[in-house]
Amino acid sequence: MLEQCRNSKERWGGVSEIIDHLLEERQQLISHFVALPSLKVNQALKTNTEAFCDVLMDYLSSGHFEVYEQLLREGSEFDDGSLEKAQKLFPRIQDSTDYALDFNDNGFGHLDDPTVQQIREFADQLSRLGEKLEERFELEDRMIEILHTSHRDLVMTED
Protein backbone atom coordinates (compact mmCIF):
# COMPACT_ATOMS: atom_id res chain seq x y z
CA MET A 1 0.00 0.00 0.00
CA LEU A 2 2.81 2.40 0.91
CA GLU A 3 4.71 1.62 -2.33
CA GLN A 4 1.54 2.21 -4.35
CA CYS A 5 1.15 5.59 -2.66
CA ARG A 6 4.73 6.53 -3.58
CA ASN A 7 4.11 5.49 -7.19
CA SER A 8 0.92 7.56 -7.29
CA LYS A 9 2.73 10.54 -5.84
CA GLU A 10 5.44 10.27 -8.49
CA ARG A 11 2.85 9.80 -11.23
CA TRP A 12 0.32 12.46 -10.21
CA GLY A 13 2.40 14.78 -8.04
CA GLY A 14 2.68 18.31 -9.30
CA VAL A 15 -0.33 17.92 -11.61
CA SER A 16 -2.39 20.24 -9.50
CA GLU A 17 -2.42 21.51 -5.94
CA ILE A 18 -5.66 19.77 -5.06
CA ILE A 19 -4.38 16.37 -6.20
CA ASP A 20 -1.05 17.01 -4.45
CA HIS A 21 -2.97 17.73 -1.25
CA LEU A 22 -4.97 14.51 -1.59
CA LEU A 23 -1.78 12.51 -2.13
CA GLU A 24 -0.14 14.12 0.92
CA GLU A 25 -3.18 13.23 3.02
CA ARG A 26 -3.08 9.71 1.58
CA GLN A 27 0.58 9.38 2.64
CA GLN A 28 -0.28 10.56 6.14
CA LEU A 29 -3.26 8.18 6.32
CA ILE A 30 -1.14 5.21 5.27
CA SER A 31 1.58 6.10 7.79
CA HIS A 32 -0.95 6.11 10.61
CA PHE A 33 -2.56 2.92 9.31
CA VAL A 34 0.64 0.86 9.15
CA ALA A 35 1.65 1.98 12.66
CA LEU A 36 -1.56 0.85 14.39
CA PRO A 37 -1.09 -2.96 14.43
CA SER A 38 2.30 -2.75 16.15
CA LEU A 39 1.16 -0.58 19.06
CA LYS A 40 0.87 -1.99 22.54
CA VAL A 41 -2.61 -2.03 24.04
CA ASN A 42 -2.53 1.04 26.21
CA GLN A 43 -2.95 4.79 25.87
CA ALA A 44 -0.70 4.82 22.78
CA LEU A 45 -3.22 2.66 20.89
CA LYS A 46 -6.07 4.96 21.88
CA THR A 47 -4.16 8.12 20.99
CA ASN A 48 -2.90 6.77 17.68
CA THR A 49 -6.28 5.35 16.75
CA GLU A 50 -7.88 8.72 17.43
CA ALA A 51 -5.24 10.43 15.27
CA PHE A 52 -5.75 7.84 12.52
CA CYS A 53 -9.53 8.35 12.57
CA ASP A 54 -9.04 12.14 12.39
CA VAL A 55 -6.79 11.79 9.34
CA LEU A 56 -9.19 9.26 7.82
CA MET A 57 -12.14 11.65 8.14
CA ASP A 58 -10.09 14.53 6.70
CA TYR A 59 -9.04 12.35 3.76
CA LEU A 60 -12.59 11.23 3.02
CA SER A 61 -13.90 14.79 3.26
CA SER A 62 -11.29 16.36 1.03
CA GLY A 63 -11.79 13.59 -1.53
CA HIS A 64 -15.55 13.92 -1.72
CA PHE A 65 -15.95 17.65 -1.22
CA GLU A 66 -12.89 19.05 -2.97
CA VAL A 67 -10.97 16.71 -5.23
CA TYR A 68 -13.81 14.73 -6.81
CA GLU A 69 -15.86 17.88 -7.41
CA GLN A 70 -12.91 19.57 -9.10
CA LEU A 71 -12.19 16.52 -11.24
CA LEU A 72 -15.85 16.21 -12.26
CA ARG A 73 -15.96 19.89 -13.20
CA GLU A 74 -12.85 19.43 -15.28
CA GLY A 75 -14.19 16.26 -16.91
CA SER A 76 -17.52 17.89 -17.75
CA GLU A 77 -15.71 20.46 -19.90
CA PHE A 78 -14.89 17.68 -22.36
CA ASP A 79 -17.59 15.74 -24.17
CA ASP A 80 -15.48 12.63 -24.65
CA GLY A 81 -17.19 10.10 -22.38
CA SER A 82 -14.65 10.51 -19.59
CA LEU A 83 -17.24 11.84 -17.17
CA GLU A 84 -19.44 8.77 -17.66
CA LYS A 85 -16.44 6.46 -17.15
CA ALA A 86 -15.49 8.23 -13.93
CA GLN A 87 -19.03 8.20 -12.58
CA LYS A 88 -19.01 4.40 -12.77
CA LEU A 89 -16.22 4.43 -10.17
CA PHE A 90 -18.19 6.37 -7.56
CA PRO A 91 -20.31 3.49 -6.18
CA ARG A 92 -17.13 1.53 -5.47
CA ILE A 93 -15.48 4.57 -3.89
CA GLN A 94 -18.63 5.15 -1.83
CA ASP A 95 -18.39 1.56 -0.55
CA SER A 96 -14.99 2.33 0.96
CA THR A 97 -16.31 5.63 2.34
CA ASP A 98 -19.19 3.84 4.07
CA TYR A 99 -16.86 1.25 5.56
CA ALA A 100 -14.42 3.93 6.78
CA LEU A 101 -17.26 5.93 8.35
CA ASP A 102 -18.49 2.79 10.13
CA PHE A 103 -14.94 2.11 11.35
CA ASN A 104 -14.74 5.64 12.74
CA ASP A 105 -18.21 5.40 14.31
CA ASN A 106 -17.33 2.14 16.09
CA GLY A 107 -15.33 4.25 18.49
CA PHE A 108 -12.07 2.33 18.51
CA GLY A 109 -10.31 5.60 19.17
CA HIS A 110 -12.32 5.97 22.37
CA LEU A 111 -11.56 2.64 24.01
CA ASP A 112 -10.14 3.36 27.44
CA ASP A 113 -9.61 -0.21 28.59
CA PRO A 114 -10.30 -2.54 25.64
CA THR A 115 -11.26 -6.16 26.15
CA VAL A 116 -9.71 -9.00 24.18
CA GLN A 117 -12.93 -9.19 22.14
CA GLN A 118 -12.75 -5.47 21.30
CA ILE A 119 -9.11 -5.81 20.28
CA ARG A 120 -9.95 -8.79 18.05
CA GLU A 121 -12.79 -6.82 16.44
CA PHE A 122 -10.48 -3.85 16.01
CA ALA A 123 -7.82 -6.00 14.31
CA ASP A 124 -10.39 -7.59 11.98
CA GLN A 125 -11.96 -4.26 11.04
CA LEU A 126 -8.56 -2.61 10.62
CA SER A 127 -7.51 -5.35 8.21
CA ARG A 128 -10.72 -4.99 6.21
CA LEU A 129 -10.34 -1.20 6.21
CA GLY A 130 -6.84 -1.62 4.76
CA GLU A 131 -8.29 -3.64 1.89
CA LYS A 132 -11.00 -1.04 1.30
CA LEU A 133 -8.48 1.82 1.35
CA GLU A 134 -6.16 0.06 -1.08
CA GLU A 135 -9.06 -0.42 -3.50
CA ARG A 136 -10.10 3.22 -3.00
CA PHE A 137 -6.61 4.50 -3.81
CA GLU A 138 -6.61 2.49 -7.06
CA LEU A 139 -10.04 3.88 -7.98
CA GLU A 140 -8.99 7.44 -7.17
CA ASP A 141 -5.91 7.03 -9.35
CA ARG A 142 -8.11 5.79 -12.19
CA MET A 143 -10.44 8.73 -11.74
CA ILE A 144 -7.51 11.15 -11.86
CA GLU A 145 -6.29 9.42 -15.02
CA ILE A 146 -9.72 9.57 -16.66
CA LEU A 147 -10.73 13.09 -15.67
CA HIS A 148 -7.50 15.00 -15.37
CA THR A 149 -4.42 13.47 -16.87
CA SER A 150 -6.04 12.46 -20.15
CA HIS A 151 -7.07 16.10 -20.67
CA ARG A 152 -3.91 17.72 -19.34
CA ASP A 153 -2.34 18.17 -22.78
CA LEU A 154 -5.55 19.67 -24.18
CA VAL A 155 -5.80 22.15 -21.31
CA MET A 156 -2.13 23.15 -21.66
CA THR A 157 -2.43 23.75 -25.41
CA GLU A 158 -5.46 25.98 -24.92
CA ASP A 159 -3.53 28.35 -22.62
Give the residue extent of every domain in the chain: 2-158
Please report the pLDDT score of residue 62 as a whole number.
Answer: 94
Q: Which residues make Cβ contacts (< 8 Å) with residue 7, sequence separation at least 6?
A: none
Please report the pLDDT score of residue 116 as a whole number.
Answer: 77
pLDDT bracket for residue 82 (50, 70, 90): confident
Higher pLDDT: 48 or 135? It is 135
Summarize the confidence of residues 103-118 as an average pLDDT.
Answer: 77
Q: CATH class for domain 2-158?
A: mainly alpha
Please report the pLDDT score of residue 133 as a whole number.
Answer: 97
Q: If you average pLDDT over each of 12-16, 97-101, 103-107, 144-148, which comes out highest?
A: 97-101
Task: Enter the DSSP assignment of 145.
Answer: I
